[in-house]
């Protein structure tokens, strides 16, 4: 059964096309610059890469182009459009309404729209993708997979802020958490890799990329996570500040003659690794500058690793016992030096990295990088959010088609 996974941004459509339940990727690509004079579709299938440049006015037209290239006799992966069994959509914010993936209905669309003000850069384009897919393929089941859903198991003492309670009642201000699909995926794959039931494991999963979040997972359920009401909270990221004293916002607004909106833009787009180093938000470029003696780049790396280490320690205390520490994401999977710095001086509390395993340039895929005597197993598990979306979509679409 063939599943199309779609992730829509404000001017882009990323997609992967799966053969399920095997999980084989038949095609993948991204359409960028939707609404501009020239849009670009980069497509890959069967070992061949194809690029199409043409004007694409909106997401409906963009998805139509994606389906057309999937049907192309030379570079496609479909013989007939009827082969598409279901479509899975990444949706960033499901609020408190969804604790798991769900078939898309009018009520679901209404909720996604309602939470658009909490994720204004993501939910509206996610919704555009859903509406485009429903228009193009009205008989095909559509499934929404929410970034926030995995964190709906947080207890109130973990998700509530110490604000007047009526702000939660009126505005639903609380910790929602993000990257949930990734955290859920690597937690499941870690348990499978270790051949242990996930219900018996306490884990901390570290999703480290341009956006970063840390999650405490007890028995397969999220019980705390570093991102909060928005993805700005938490550890240092590529361009986001992460945690800071909230009084800094009005102070900067006054001292720099900025609006609160302008200050928040700085915290989101000009801070983090970029703001500290003055070099880049790309970890590879920051590491290169640090190696060349750039002290601000060295400082950025130190702050980045220290904040993550503190979160791991806090979640160890919250969990009471840590069985598995997982690194994933572009930085988590590839930056051995960052992993080493994060895990340094933690042997006394049960985390001991094996330098040879951690730095092995030939090692790929899921693997253990801790020593044999480390009480906590440290794993690298490549994330695959699209595969998780495809799995959920297949399960729900089969139930829908069978009347279950």
pTM assigned to the model:
0.93
CATH number of the domain residue 131 falls in:
3.30.420.40
The CB density around residue 158, as the number of other CB atoms within 10 Å, is 17
Same domain for 203 and 129: no
Question: What pairs with residue 18 in β-bridges?
Answer: 3, 25
Same domain for 349 and 213: yes
**Distance (Å, whole) CA 173 – CA 110:** 20
**Distance (Å, whole) CA 27 – CA 175:** 36
Q: Is residue 404, in this structure, part of any structural domain at all?
A: no
According to the model, what pLDDT value does residue 120 have? 80
Q: Is residue 394, in this structure, part of any structural domain at all?
A: no
Backbone angles phi, psi at 188, to 5 degrees: -65, -45
Q: Is residue 173, in this structure, part of any structural domain at all?
A: no
According to the model, what pLDDT value does residue 106 have? 94
Handedness of CA 219, 384, 229, 209 (dihedral sign): positive
Same domain for 24 and 131: yes
Same domain for 77 and 217: no
User: Both tokens of residue 260?
Assistant: 């609160």
- Contact (Cβ atoms closer than 8 angstroms) between residue 280 and residue 273: yes
**Distance (Å, whole) CA 143 – CA 145:** 7
Same domain for 119 and 251: no
- Contact (Cβ atoms closer than 8 angstroms) between residue 208 and residue 331: yes
The CB density around residue 116, as the number of other CB atoms within 10 Å, is 18
238 by DSSP, 3-state: which? coil
Average pLDDT per 10 consecutive residues for the chain, totaling 404 residues: 92 94 96 93 94 93 94 92 95 91 95 85 88 92 96 98 98 95 97 98 97 97 96 95 97 97 95 97 97 98 98 98 97 97 97 97 94 98 96 95 75
Same domain for 341 and 234: yes
Nearest CA among 312, 311, 351, 323 for reference residue 202: 323
Same domain for 209 and 102: no
Q: Is residue 181, in this structure, part of any structural domain at all?
A: no
Q: Are strands 84-91 and 142-146 parallel, antiparallel or unpaired?
A: parallel
Q: Is residue 178, in this structure, part of any structural domain at all?
A: no
Question: What pairs with residue 48 in β-bridges?
Answer: 45
Residues assigned a catalytic role: 147
Count CA atoms closer than 13 A to 265's CA, side-chain side.
6
Q: Is residue 397, in this structure, part of any structural domain at all?
A: no
**Structural domain range at position 48:** 2-146
User: Both tokens of residue 56?
Assistant: 């694409």
Asked if the peptide bond before residue 21 counts as cis, ω within 30 degrees of 0, the response is: yes
Same domain for 102 and 240: no
Which residue is associated with the tokens 């009480």?
A: 375
Classify residue 369 as left (phi > 0), alpha (psi -120 to 50) or beta. alpha
According to the model, what pLDDT value does residue 118 have? 81
H or E stretch at 223? strand 221-225
Helices (H), 71-179: 106-114, 123-136, 156-159, 165-171
User: Both tokens of residue 217?
Assistant: 């997972």
According to the model, what pLDDT value does residue 121 have? 74
Q: What is the total count of domains within the chain?
A: 2
């Amino acid at each position: 059964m063939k599943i199309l996974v779609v992730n829509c941004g404000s001017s882009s459509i990323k997609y992967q096309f799966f053969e399920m339940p095997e999980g084989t990727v038949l095609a993948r690509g991204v359409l960028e610059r939707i609404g501009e004079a020239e849009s670009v579709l980069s497509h890959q299938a069967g070992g061949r890469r194809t690029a199409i440049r043409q004007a694409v006015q909106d997401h409906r037209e963009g998805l139509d182009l994606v389906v057309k290239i999937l049907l192309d006799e030379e570079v496609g992966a479909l013989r007939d459009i009827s082969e598409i069994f279901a479509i899975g959509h990444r949706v960033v914010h499901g609020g408190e309404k969804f604790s798991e993936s769900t078939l898309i209905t009018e009520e679901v669309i209404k909720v996604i729209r309602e939470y658009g003000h909490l994720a204004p850069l993501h939910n509206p384009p996610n919704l555009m993708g859903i509406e485009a897919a429903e228009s193009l393929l009205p008989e095909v089941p559509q499934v929404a997979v929410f970034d926030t859903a995995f964190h709906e198991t947080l207890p109130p003492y973990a998700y509530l802020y110490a604000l007047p309670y009526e702000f939660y009642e009126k505005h639903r201000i609380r910790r929602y958490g993000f990257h949930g699909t990734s955290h859920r995926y690597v937690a499941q794959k870690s348990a499978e890799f270790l051949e242990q039931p996930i219900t018996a494991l306490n884990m901390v999963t570290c999703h480290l990329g341009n956006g970063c979040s840390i999650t405490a997972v007890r028995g397969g359920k999220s019980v705390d996570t570093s991102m909060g009401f928005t993805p700005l909270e938490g550890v240092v990221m590529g361009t986001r500040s992460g945690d800071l004293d909230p009084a800094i916002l009005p102070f900067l607004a006054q001292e720099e003659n900025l609006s609160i909106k302008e200050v928040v833009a700085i915290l989101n787009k000009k801070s983090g690794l970029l703001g500290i180093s003055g070099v880049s938000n790309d970890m590879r470029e920051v590491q290169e500058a640090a190696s060349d003696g750039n002290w601000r780049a060295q400082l950025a790396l130190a702050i980045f690793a220290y904040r993550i280490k503190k979160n791991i320690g806090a979640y160890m205390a919250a969990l009471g016992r840590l069985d598995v520490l997982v690194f994933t994401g572009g930085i988590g999977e590839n930056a051995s030096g960052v992993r080493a710095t994060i895990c340094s001086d933690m042997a006394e509390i049960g985390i001991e990295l094996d330098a040879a395993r951690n730095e092995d340039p030939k090692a790929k895929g899921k693997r253990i990088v801790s020593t044999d005597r480390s009480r906590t197993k440290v794993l690298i598990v490549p994330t695959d959010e699209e595969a998780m979306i495809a799995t959920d979509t297949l399960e729900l679409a089969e139930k829908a088609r069978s009347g279950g």
